[in-house]
Each structure stands twice: as C-alpha cells, then as structure tokens.
Amino acid sequence: EDLIAESDEDFAWLCTDENMAMGMCYTSGTTGEPKGALYSHRSMFLHTMGENAANALGVRESDVVLPVVPQFHAMAWGLPYACAASGADIVMPGPHLRPQPLADLIATERVTIAAGVPTIWNGLYHELKQNPRDISCVRALVVGGSAMPRSLIEAYESQLGVNVVHAWGMTEMSPLGTVSIPLKAHEELDDAGKWDIKAKQGYPILGVELRIVDEIGRELPWDGKTMGELQVRGPWIISQYFRRDATPDYMTADGWFRTGDVVTMTPDGYMTITDRTKDLVKSGGEWISTVELEGAIIGHPKVLEAAVIAIPDEKWSERPMACVVRTQDGWDLTAEELQAYLGERVARFWVPERVVFIDEVPKTSVGKFDKKVLRRQFAEGTLG
C-alpha cells in the first residue's frame, strides 16, 4: 500500500510487448557453469497462475508466505509474484537463514506457507526438536531444490504435525513444474502410504508437459519402474539459454527441454527423481541412485546430512562413497555401524565401502549440495 501510495500516477511502464524480458536468473551450476534463463512478462504471468492453482501451491489472500530462497534463485521460486497476484503477505528472511532465527520468524509472523531446500528444513527440524515453538500456523512446508528424504517428511508430519509438500522445478522452468499432494484416490491410505506419495516429486501442474525417454530418445512407459531421462515443455519453460544457441545437449529437435534428471513416472502421473544423470553411480554395470542412498543414510538417527558421490574403482569401475555429517549427539557413529544399518535397508551392492565423516557438506549459494567440491576432494585420483 505504501509503495502504491508513493508511486507516480503518470509512471511510464516500459513493457510494450508481453514477450519482452522481465528478468533473468542463472542456474546454480551444480553440474557445470551457470547459464542465464530469461523470463518474459507473459511466461511469469502464466507461471504465477499455474503456481496459484488450488492443486499446486494455492497461495491465497489469507496466507503469510516465507520464501527461504534468494531472489536470484529462480525469482525466489516465483513466490513474490504469487503473493502479489493473490494479495498474500510475504515475509523476507534476509540473511537470517540459520535454524534458530528462522524458527523464531515462523512462529512470530505466523507463517502459513514456507518454502526452502531440504538442508534448511533439516536444520529447522533439529532446532524445533531441541527448542519447541508453536508453528501450528504452517499449512504447507514446501520443499524443492533437491529431494527431501522420506524419513524427514515422516518426522515433520508425525512429530511436529507439519504438512510437507514436495515440489520440483528448475531455473529453466521459472521454476515450478510438479507438486506432490495426495489425491482423493489416496484418501484410504494410511499415514505410511501417504508419506510414500509425498516423498515423490509429484504430478505436473497445469501447463507443464512431461515425458521420459531412453538413451536414443524413445518414449518410455509410465509404470512406476522404468527409469528414463525427463524432458519437459510448457509456456514458461525456456527454449534456449541467454546468448547461447539451442543445442541438442539441452533441447530436442521437437522442442522439449532436457532436464538431466533420471526419473520414473507412475501411471497416475507422479514423478520420482532417481538421480541427476551426472550423479548416478554405475557399479559393475548396475546403476546406484545417490538420491535414494542419501535418503537411507539420513534416516539414521545419528546422521545430520549426507552426500554420496562416485569414486573410481579398479574392479567395479565406480563405487559409491558416503560423505556424512554426524549430529551433535551422534559423534560416536562409526562407518561400520552405518554400513550395518544400510545393509538392512538397501541392496547389498549399494552399501558404500568408504564412509568419510565431515564437518559440513559443501553447498552452493542457494543451499544445494555442491558435489563438485566433494568430487575434487575425494573422487579425483587413481583407481583403487
């Protein structure tokens, strides 16, 4: 209201074409150099309508929205525009991204929708367990950027009573592409069944098309089992990067964007990200999903964070290595204890022979695990 009151009634709007660029964000560069993604007035308007749909994030006038993501990261996931369109209040955390001030902010401002990456919510969970606050105001804890482990979803919902909404998208998609909200067909499921649904990245929101393909571009079935490369298209998805030609490494000849994610799709349209193509471990000809293995590791009560990378191996070509951050109370966790725990939860050949304990997993400016740093530190070297 203050901004509107102080504005000039004769302000000359610069937009004369809805296809003009209104902003640009750079990719986070977790798998290569950052690249610029341009957004037009039209694409951001349509993205806002899709994001605010009832079966998406559904931001409404009565909401208080807290985007715990920088504005330079895919326009803070489009949430400032979603709030402006719906009339919702927006709370900006500024530099206060540590668990304790974040918990205070949510409780004080009575936040109803909070959005952030799993590392943020992992830290917040441990803070709330040690120093409880009243966060009953939160109707949706939105998680994106990378997959949240099912164990953390279960902990939030069963112990704190917080509804977790998994979402997925990319800078190139403005960014929202899918959300994971149980449908009416899932109403008869018990809590464990619903957490299985919520651990997926979800169904495409209105306007987004998905397909999965094999190595030569043939479409694969949505059977919940077959893994393939995810490709997307839609009115707010880029057709090329800023000042870069559209090349086959990221755009197909028929206009689909190649995400670099390996996924499965269920018959009812729920997507599960198995891994990034560059993060998969190929051991003895078999694929190991670092996403699933990390989720299993984080399920251990003495583990705070975990990142899995591929390391060269003379016999198997590659083997997984786990880089693990222990909780304060879990200082005595050993590699052998963790390996025994994993042996009961994943395939035997998935269990990493090498487990290293580190103080913190390196992160990008937007809170994603920076596995390039770990690879330089641990994985580059001789076979052994």
pLDDT in tens, 204-230: 999 999 999 998 999 999 999 999 999
Question: What's the pLDDT score for residue 97?
Answer: 82
Which residue ranges does the chain devote to CATH 3.30.300.30? 281-379
Which residue ranges does the chain devote to CATH 3.40.50.12780? 12-204
* Residue scoring higher pLDDT (13 or 133): 133
Mean pLDDT in the chain?
A: 91
Judge whether 172 counts as a catalytic residue: yes
Q: Find the helix or strand (DSSP H, E) in which 89 lies.
A: strand 89-90
* CATH level 3 topology of 12-204: Rossmann fold (3.40.50)
Judge whether 287 counts as a catalytic residue: yes
pLDDT bucket at 9, cuts 50 / 70 / 90: confident
Q: Which of 219, 287, 353, 360 is catalytic?
A: 287
pLDDT tens-digit series, residues 25-51: 998 765 567 899 999 999 999 999 999
Q: Residue 107 region, left (φ>0) first, then alpha (ψ -120 to 50), else beta? A: alpha
pLDDT bucket at 12, cuts 50 / 70 / 90: confident
Q: Which of 18, 129, 219, 282 is catalytic?
A: 282
Judge whether 380 counts as a catalytic residue: no
pLDDT bucket at 368, cuts 50 / 70 / 90: confident
Rounded to 10°, the helix 335-343/290-298 angle is: 110
Question: What's the pLDDT score for residue 381?
Answer: 46
* Residue scoring higher pLDDT (89 or 284): 89
DSSP state of 35: -
CA distances from 46 to 15, 23, 84, 232, 251 (A): 16, 15, 14, 16, 22
% of the chain with per-residue pLDDT over 90 = 73
Judge whether 27 counts as a catalytic residue: yes
pLDDT bucket at 380, cuts 50 / 70 / 90: low
The distance from CA 126 to its chain's CA centroid, rounded to whole angstroms, is: 20
Q: Which of 27, 112, 259, 364 is catalytic?
A: 27
* CATH level 3 topology of 281-379: GMP Synthetase; Chain A, domain 3 (3.30.300)
Q: Which of 172, 229, 294, 305 is catalytic?
A: 172
pLDDT tens-digit series, residues 103-119: 999 999 999 999 999 88
* Residue scoring higher pLDDT (81 or 363): 81
Task: Please enumerate, as own/partner, the contacts of 2-10 that have beta carbons within 8 Å and a separation of 24 or more.
Answer: none
Average pLDDT over residues 226-247: 93
pTM of the model as a whole: 0.81
Within 10 angstroms of residue 115's Cβ, the number of other Cβ atoms is: 25
* C-alpha to C-alpha distance for 274 and 227, rounded to whole angstroms: 8
Q: Does the structure show a pLDDT above 80 at 148?
A: yes
Average pLDDT over residues 126-144: 96
